[in-house]
Amino acid sequence: MPTLIEARGLVKHLGGRRVVDGVDLVCHAGQILGLLGPNGAGKTTTLRMLYGFLQPDAGRIHVDGIDLARDLVRAKRSIGVCTQDDTFDGDFTVEQNLTVAASYFRPRPTDLARRVGELLDRFDLRAYARQKPEVPLSADELADFARTFPALRYEVRVPTLDDLFLKLALDP
């Protein structure tokens, strides 16, 4: 299977403290890679380096064969990021949330209307496309939708999820 993420020797200092210390990891297509550890262990900082939000102080990252330090824009076309925070706007419809969110990200997705339609179908939200998110969705569905749609704005090969799987695994 092809390698989608490879990181070697990642180091990051924040606030004068080393928060990531020599992380090596590899994730191939079809695999799920989890970072486990206590609060403050550097999991989110490592993820932020993997998706290009933070630059490592040392080490190298390749995403889908692309060196993140050399071609961040091209690499970001393969990465979808889903943070642990809700990212929807209750003043907009479900469809508008998808469209507005995608317009903020760089590089912008191509053929946005088609991609929004695919996401509405993928999450069985077509019937709710013109409603505000709070109306048709339960609290859990709303939280999952809000956390998930930014990661799917492109046809990504490397979805990056921060705390989502833990929530899905532990919520009754």
Domain ranges of the chain: 3-76, 79-172
Report how many helices (DSSP H) and strands (DSSP E) the chain contains, helices first: 6, 6
For the record, the structure tokens of 61 come out as 């990252």
Q: Output the average pLDDT for the chain.
A: 77
- Relative to beta strand 58-63, strand 3-14 is antiparallel
Q: What is the pLDDT of residue 48?
A: 87
Any idea which residue has 């993820």 for tokens? 47
**Distance from C-alpha of 37 to C-alpha of 39, rounded to nearest angstrom:** 7
pLDDT confidence of residue 164: 47
Q: Do domains 3-76 and 79-172 have the same CATH topology?
A: yes
What was the pLDDT predicted at 171?
39
At the second CATH level, the architecture of 79-172 is 3-Layer(aba) Sandwich (3.40)
CATH of domain 3-76: 3.40.50.300
Q: What tens-digit pLDDT sequence spans the chain (172 residues)?
A: 889 899 999 999 988 899 999 999 999 988 888 888 887 889 889 988 998 889 999 999 999 899 999 998 888 877 766 665 556 677 788 888 778 776 666 666 677 788 788 878 877 778 878 887 665 565 556 555 655 555 555 555 665 555 544 444 443 3
73 closest CA partner among 57, 58, 51: 51
Bond into 107 cis (ω within 30): yes
Supply the pLDDT for residue 66: 93
Q: Are strands 17-28 and 3-14 parallel, antiparallel or unpaired?
A: antiparallel
DSSP secondary structure letter of residue 153: S
- CA dist 97 and 137 (Å) reads 14
Q: 110 burial class (0-12, 13-18, 19+ CB within 10 angstroms)? A: exposed
| Residues 20 and 33 sit within 8 Å (Cβ to Cβ) | no
- Residue 9: what pLDDT? 98
